[in-house]
Amino acid sequence: MNSGADLEKYLHDKIPLTVAMGVRVAECDDTHLILTAPLAPNRNHLGTAFGGSLHSLATLSGYSLLWWLLRAPDAHIVIRQSEIRYEKAVTGELRAFCRAPDADELAGFRRDFARKGKARLSLSAMIEQDGVLAVQFRGVFVAVAAKK
Footprint on this chain of a second copy (rule: CB under 8 A): 10, 14-17, 20-21, 40-46, 50-53, 55-57, 59-60, 63, 76, 78-86, 89
In the complex, minimum distance from the CB of residue 103 to a second copy, in angstroms, rounded to a whole number: 27
Select 21 or 109, whichever has its Cβ closest to a second copy.
21
In the complex, minimum distance from the CB of residue 108 to a second copy, in angstroms, rounded to a whole number: 23
The most distant pair of C-alpha atoms in the chain lies apart, rounded to whole Å, by 49
Select 46 or 103, whichever has its Cβ closest to a second copy.
46
How many C-beta neighbours within 10 Å does residue 9 have?
13
In the complex, minimum distance from the CB of residue 63 to a second copy, in angstroms, rounded to a whole number: 8
- C-alpha–C-alpha distance, residues 80 and 29, integer Å: 24
**DSSP H/E element including 90:** none
Number of helices (H), then strands (E), in the chain: 4, 6
Strands 76-86 and 24-28: unpaired
Select 16 or 27, whichever has its Cβ closest to a second copy.
16
In the complex, minimum distance from the CB of residue 3 to a second copy, in angstroms, rounded to a whole number: 18
